[in-house]
């Protein structure tokens, strides 16, 4: 990841095809030693490719990945009256959980 970050910094600065020595120089400026094997793999994977196009393709792929977090929040809001009826049951469950947590041991026993 650090090698890719250095590569992207160099690309943003105008160096369209950063070399291994360029990336090593950036990493060493912040006290990081570059790993030659990973650096060579990164450069071989990115060789001849436009970084802007790769970023655009990656963003399009990420946009199609479902996150799953938003769907659950809408269901209780749509239920309306049912949510109010379920509230007392939730309070009972919380009381049960609290009594289980104690298990007969006090904080200073």
In CATH, what class is 1-64?
mainly alpha
Q: What integer pLDDT is reported at residue 36 of this predicted model?
A: 92
Answer whether 0.85 is exceeded by the pTM.
Answer: no
pLDDT score for 51:
87
Neighbours of 7 (CB within 10 A): 21
| pLDDT at residue 50, as a whole number | 87
Q: Which helix (H) or strand (E) holds 101?
A: helix 81-102
Of 34 and 92, the one with more pLDDT: 34
- Is residue 88 within 8 A of residue 48, CB to CB? The reply is no
Q: What is the pLDDT of residues 9-33, one digit of tens each?
A: 998 899 888 899 999 999 999 999 9
Output the CA–CA distances (angstroms, integers) from residue 77 to 81, 84, 85, 90, 102, in the order listed: 9, 11, 13, 16, 34
User: Of residues 91 and 61, which shows the higher confidence score?
Assistant: 61
How far is the C-alpha of 49 from the C-alpha of 41, rounded, in Å? 14
pLDDT of 39-82, one tens digit each?
Answer: 999 999 988 888 889 889 989 999 888 887 655 555 555 555 55
């Amino acid at each position: 990841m650090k090698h890719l970050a250095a590569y992207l910094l160099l690309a943003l600065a105008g160096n369209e095809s950063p070399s291994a020595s360029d990336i090593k120089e950036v990493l060493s400026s912040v006290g990081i030693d570059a790993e030659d094997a990973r650096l060579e793999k990164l450069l071989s994977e990115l060789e001849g490719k436009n970084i802007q196009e790769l970023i655009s393709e990656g963003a399009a792929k990420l946009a199609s990945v479902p996150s799953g977090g938003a769907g659950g929040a809408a269901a209780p809001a749509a239920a309306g009256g049912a949510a109010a009826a379920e509230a007392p049951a939730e309070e009972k469950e919380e009381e049960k959980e609290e009594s289980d947590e104690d298990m007969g041991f006090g904080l200073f026993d």
